[in-house]
């Protein structure tokens, strides 16, 4: 490791609405800089070569009906989410030991990392350090954040955490980033990515492989500590800075970030025995990451004539993101009466996006983004 570089890294500034006891964001606060663009302008820029991390989408402000759906979904699924979080937490300490640093990938990984940290505190009496750091497809992981963690927790392994898998793109970015980091600094990191849900079969450390709605995927900043997705732009992020993000402090009255983690955490005592059983079952069967979701993606690409795989967003979490942030072309669902897709149907209706039944997918649903270069029949 380069000690000069480590000493020059900026100290993290307070950002987000979570307690520092839950998580510390290793992110540069860009809250006073205008970075948002409309979905349409952003889509055109992305498909014409501008990197998505150089701008932000305009955050979706949920309608009363949609916000009510979030609260209902949270009520209905909190115990299920708690069981998945507890299971992956048990797997982490079984595989990595009881002294490990949790590094959640901002921003979808952050609330899941908090749940894992809280579970291990409540059930095992462990107080693990937990950070939220940036990883960006096409640009890699925030190496300054990794240096910061390694400097402050020498000898402790890092467990990367995310919310869910889609195509497995972030797992691939993480794997490449760990190789690059080892080559550059001689430090070996595990690319094992712990996720709450792994419908794409891209991870070996997961709470479930069911493709269901995790309530924190319903919303954007207001369920993620009022933090935007991460930003990396040369004119804003210096060589000794962390990657950036905006803190939407003005939305505090709409914030349900603590409501989500508090509600789910309240079920940990109830589900802990089952979580331990499921974790031991996973370890015994050694469920592999066989990437079977990629077969569904290849079939969808061929069926709809989509050349760019980045325009195919499989799984409930990724489909939700398409509807909130991108310009959707159509939504594929395994069946119209799938109870996990109520919010997908509501968002698609609000945005006048057609929904089409496409049975046989590994996933419950898939969002297709409209190509702006050429037409897809």
Examine the fold and report which residue of 232, 259, 285 is the final residue of a domain before the chain moves on: 285
From the list 261, 22, 249, the residue with the least C-alpha distance to 127 is 22
| Same-domain pairing of 269 and 319 | no
Examine the fold and report which residue of 226, 261, 285 is the final residue of a domain before the chain moves on: 285
Above 50 in pLDDT, residue 1?
no
The helix or strand, by DSSP H or E, that contains position 323, with its residue range, turns out to be helix 316-325
More confident residue, 55 or 97: 97
Radius of gyration of the chain (CA): 20
| Same-domain pairing of 227 and 300 | no
pLDDT in tens, 231-273: 999 999 999 999 999 999 999 999 999 999 999 999 999 999 9
Q: How far apart are CA 305 and CA 241, in angstroms?
A: 41
pLDDT at residue 5, as a whole number: 52
| Same-domain pairing of 85 and 21 | yes
DSSP structure class, residue 156: P
pLDDT at residue 375, as a whole number: 42
The helix or strand, by DSSP H or E, that contains position 140, with its residue range, turns out to be strand 140-141
| Same-domain pairing of 221 and 338 | no
The Cα angle at residue 228 between residues 180 and 173, in degrees rounded to 5: 20
| Same-domain pairing of 278 and 301 | no
| Same-domain pairing of 211 and 148 | yes
Name residues whose C-beta falls within 8 Å of residue 49's C-beta, 6 or more positions apart in sequence. Answer: none
Q: Specify the residue for token string 């009363």.
A: 64
Examine the fold and report which residue of 269, 285, 301 is the final residue of a domain before the chain moves on: 285
pLDDT at residue 2, as a whole number: 43
Q: Specify the residue for token string 């060589």.
A: 239
| Same-domain pairing of 196 and 312 | no
pLDDT at residue 9, as a whole number: 78
The number of distinct structural domains making up the chain is: 2
Whole-structure pTM value: 0.91
Q: How far apart are CA 69 and CA 1, in angstroms?
A: 48
Residue 373 binned pLDDT confidence (cut-offs 50, 70, 90)? low
DSSP structure class, residue 53: G
Residue 366 binned pLDDT confidence (cut-offs 50, 70, 90)? very high
Domain carrying residue 265: 3-285
Burial 161-178 (b: 16+ CB within 10 A, else e): bbbbbbbbbbbebbeebb
Residue 6 binned pLDDT confidence (cut-offs 50, 70, 90)? low
| Same-domain pairing of 308 and 173 | no
| Same-domain pairing of 278 and 300 | no
Which ranges constitute the DSSP H helices of 153-267? 169-185, 257-265
Are 165 and 195 in contact by the 8 Å Cβ rule? The answer is yes
| Same-domain pairing of 303 and 202 | no
| Same-domain pairing of 190 and 239 | yes
| Same-domain pairing of 204 and 160 | yes
Q: How far apart are CA 56 and CA 209, in angstroms?
A: 30
In a domain, 374, yes or no: no
Least confident of 87-91, 186-190, 210-214, 275-279: 210-214
In a domain, 338, yes or no: yes
Instruction: List the CATH number of the domain containing 316.
Output: 3.30.1330.30
Above 50 in pLDDT, residue 124?
yes
Asked if the peptide bond before residue 305 counts as cis, ω within 30 degrees of 0, the response is no
pLDDT at residue 50, as a whole number: 83
């Amino acid at each position: 490791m380069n000690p000069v570089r480590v000493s020059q890294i900026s100290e993290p500034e307070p950002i987000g609405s979570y307690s520092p006891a839950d998580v510390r964001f290793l992110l540069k606060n860009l809250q006073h800089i205008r970075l948002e663009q409309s979905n349409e302008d952003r889509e055109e820029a992305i498909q014409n070569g501008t990197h998505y991390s150089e701008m932000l989408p305009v955050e979706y402000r949920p309608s009363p009906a949609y916000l009510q759906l979030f609260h209902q979904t949270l009520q209905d699924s909190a115990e299920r989410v708690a069981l998945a979080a507890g299971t992956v937490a048990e797997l982490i300490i079984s595989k990595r030991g009881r002294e490990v640093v949790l590094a959640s990938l901002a921003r979808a990984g952050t609330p899941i990392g908090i749940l894992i940290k809280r579970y291990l505190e409540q059930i095992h009496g462990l107080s693990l350090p937990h950070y939220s750091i940036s990883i960006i497809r096409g640009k890699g992981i925030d190496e300054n954040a990794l240096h910061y963690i390694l400097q402050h927790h020498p000898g402790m392994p890092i467990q990367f955490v995310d919310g869910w898998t889609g195509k497995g793109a972030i797992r691939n970015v993480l794997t490449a980033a760990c190789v690059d980091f080892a080559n550059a600094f001689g430090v070996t990191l595990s690319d094992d990515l712990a996720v709450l849900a792994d419908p794409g079969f891209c991870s070996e450390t997961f709470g479930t492989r069911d493709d269901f709605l995790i309530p924190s995927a319903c919303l954007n900043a207001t369920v993620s500590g009022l933090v935007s997705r991460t930003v990396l732009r040369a004119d804003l992020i210096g060589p000794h800075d962390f990657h950036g993000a905006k803190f939407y402090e003005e939305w505090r009255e709409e914030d349900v970030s603590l409501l989500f983690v508090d509600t789910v955490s309240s079920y940990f005592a109830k589900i802990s025995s089952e979580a331990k059983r499921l974790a031991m079952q996973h370890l015994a069967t050694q469920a592999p990451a066989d990437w079977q979701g990629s077969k569904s993606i290849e079939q969808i690409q061929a069926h709809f004539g989509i050349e760019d795989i980045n325009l195919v967003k499989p799984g409930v979490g990724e489909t939700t993101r398409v509807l909130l942030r991108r310009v959707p072309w159509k939504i594929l669902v395994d069946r119209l009466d799938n109870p996990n897709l109520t919010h997908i149907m509501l968002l698609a209706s609000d945005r006048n996006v057609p929904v089409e039944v496409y049975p046989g997918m590994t996933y419950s649903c898939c969002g297709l983004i409209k190509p702006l270069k050429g037409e897809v029949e």
